[in-house]
Amino acid sequence: MNKNITSIRGMNDCFTPDIKFWQKIENKCKQILTNYGFSEIRTPIIEQTSLFSRAIGKVTDVVKKEMYTFNDRSGNSLTLRPENTTGCVRSGIEHGFLYKKRQQRLWYLGPMFRYDRPQKGRYRQFYQLGAEVFGFIGPDIDAELINITARLFRELGIIKYISLEINSIGSLSSREKYCRVLMDFLHQYENELDQDSLHQLLANPLRILDTKNPKIQEILIDAPLLADYIDSESKYHFINLCKLLDATNIKYRINHRLVRGLDYYNRTVFEWITDILGAQNTVCAGGRYDNLVEQLGGKATPAIGFAIGIDRMVLLIKQINPYFIDEYNIVDVYLITSGKVSRQSMLVLAEIIRDHLPYFTIITHYGGGNLKKQLSHADKYQAKIVLILGENEYKSGEITIKDLRTGKQEKITQQNIIVRLNELLC
């Protein structure tokens, strides 16, 4: 039997009308980031596997279970990027741009790949809009990044439906100290831990704080607090960040259990969460990673970034406001012919109109059919205006204009067409 070829599980096609949600969100993100002085960076979607294992941490879920890794024809191990902070750092070190200008503000947008369990809001190819800044020790830049995300969510009309959680996970060394204390504490409960947590206990104990398992959450109530172990500089950094957020009227909740899934973070971490999307409740996550540039072979450079999950943003906005996109009247002018008028004359006319009215959407009818059929196509497109070039009009240098919004029809000379369309459409 001839079985149709389908897309890969967890990887989606996106087309109209959904694509309009994507475009509007992406355009808003780009506009705001540009206004804050950020510039775009595009890096390849495939990198050497060692880049991710070195940066993200060999024992993290992402590197252990979620990467799309394969050998190319020369036997090099390559990986489809599971995130793009690492790619930006690799590029910055390779081209030296992290150091040429002492400070950099960058953004990127593109697909990421993780062999996750596909479900609503969790896919194997998903999209992140990210920002990364280098060379600032903060906490002013931390506050600016959070303000950018807040501004974006305000302008997209979703700020009421999401909330900000922040935490400091301290320096790497203070975190290691805390992990030992946490491990000692959790060892008492070894019998009560699930498989995942037992595994994490050995590999990456901090991640247990993030558990969704209610039984373990209960055990954690009495666990030592990370906040009591973090170094004084990180504490001071965090207190000042809170002051800056207060001064800019950003509402937040300090969540002492908030950690990040990747190893390279330190000090500030933050997440925007929602209770509308079920288990996939984080729409944006970020944090500081002051050691990553050096860890990947560059000169020590402080850094912080965030990534917004665009797929989840689209789901959220569609649920909150289905009228977010204006589906109607996207076609301004629909051109049709009747009688024996040649396709060529209509094409020529359409191009002349486009020369003069470049901001209007103009569609030309192809495929023939009688006037009624062509008009019904114009209706389907919800065109505002139909231009009819009939045999008589063609001979006399005229054209018929029908305004589908009012039903009014008029005949004018072709020379006046630009002026008249402008009057009708502006």
Binding residue numbers for L-histidine:
83-85, 114, 128, 132, 260, 264-265
When asked if residue 264 is in the footprint of ligand ATP (CB under 6 A), the reply is no
Beta carbons of 306 and 286 less than 8 angstroms apart: yes
Cα gap 304→235, rounded to integer Å: 17
Cα gap 148→151, rounded to integer Å: 5
Beta carbons of 159 and 144 less than 8 angstroms apart: no
Question: CA torsion angle for 225, 174, 149, 28 (degrees, to 10)?
Answer: -140
The single residue among 237, 312, 384, 402 that binds ligand ATP, judged by CB under 6 A, is 312
Two structure tokens written together for 152: 């974006």
- The residue (of 107 and 123) whose beta carbon lies closer to ligand ATP is 123
Window of 52-60, 228-236, 277-285, 355-363 that interacts with ligand ATP by CB under 6 A: 277-285
- The residue (of 121 and 298) whose beta carbon lies closer to ligand ATP is 121
Please list every residue from 35 through 94 that binds ligand ATP, using CB under 6 A. 83
- The residue (of 298 and 309) whose beta carbon lies closer to ligand ATP is 309
Amino acid letter, residue 72: D
- The residue (of 47 and 311) whose beta carbon lies closer to ligand ATP is 311
Window of 12-20, 73-81, 184-192, 282-290 that interacts with ligand ATP by CB under 6 A: 282-290
Of 178, 170, 168, whose CA–CA distance to 270 is shortest? 168
The single residue among 264, 309, 374, 402 that binds ligand ATP, judged by CB under 6 A, is 309
Of 323, 146, 118, whose CA–CA distance to 252 is shortest? 146
Please list every residue from 323 through 352 that binds ligand ATP, using CB under 6 A. none
When asked if residue 229 is in the footprint of ligand ATP (CB under 6 A), the reply is no
Residues 117-121: contacts with CB under 8 Å, at least 24 apart: 118/9, 118/10, 119/279, 119/280, 120/277, 120/278, 120/280, 120/315, 121/277, 121/278, 121/279, 121/280, 121/309, 121/311, 121/312, 121/315
Beta carbons of 272 and 164 less than 8 angstroms apart: yes
Beta carbons of 153 and 160 less than 8 angstroms apart: no
- The residue (of 18 and 116) whose beta carbon lies closer to ligand ATP is 116
Window of 118-126, 234-242, 401-409, 413-421 that interacts with ligand ATP by CB under 6 A: 118-126
Of 59, 51, 37, whose CA–CA distance to 82 is shortest? 51
The single residue among 193, 307, 353, 399 that binds ligand ATP, judged by CB under 6 A, is 307
When asked if residue 114 is in the footprint of ligand ATP (CB under 6 A), the reply is yes
Cα 19 to Cα 15, 16, 327, 419: the distances in Å are: 5, 5, 11, 33
Window of 20-28, 113-121, 189-197, 231-239 that interacts with ligand ATP by CB under 6 A: 113-121
Window of 42-50, 146-154, 283-291, 330-338 that interacts with ligand ATP by CB under 6 A: 283-291
Binding-site entries: 83-85, 114, 128, 132, 260, 264-265
Window of 18-26, 117-125, 173-181, 219-227 that interacts with ligand ATP by CB under 6 A: 117-125
Beta carbons of 32 and 39 less than 8 angstroms apart: no
What is the smallest separation between the CB atom of 260 and ligand ATP, expressed in angstroms?
A: 6
Using CB under 6 A as the binding criterion, the count of chain residues that bind ligand ATP stands at 18
When asked if residue 205 is in the footprint of ligand ATP (CB under 6 A), the reply is no
When asked if residue 283 is in the footprint of ligand ATP (CB under 6 A), the reply is yes
- The residue (of 211 and 280) whose beta carbon lies closer to ligand ATP is 280
Of 240, 61, 9, whose CA–CA distance to 139 is shortest? 240
What is the smallest separation between the CB atom of 255 and ligand ATP, expressed in angstroms?
A: 14
What is the smallest separation between the CB atom of 371 and ligand ATP, expressed in angstroms?
A: 49
Phi/psi for 18 (5° steps) reads: -55, -40
Two structure tokens written together for 222: 């009495």
Two structure tokens written together for 411: 């005949």
When asked if residue 384 is in the footprint of ligand ATP (CB under 6 A), the reply is no
- The residue (of 311 and 393) whose beta carbon lies closer to ligand ATP is 311
Strand 362-364, strand 333-337: pairing: parallel
When asked if residue 237 is in the footprint of ligand ATP (CB under 6 A), the reply is no
When asked if residue 116 is in the footprint of ligand ATP (CB under 6 A), the reply is yes
- The residue (of 302 and 305) whose beta carbon lies closer to ligand ATP is 305
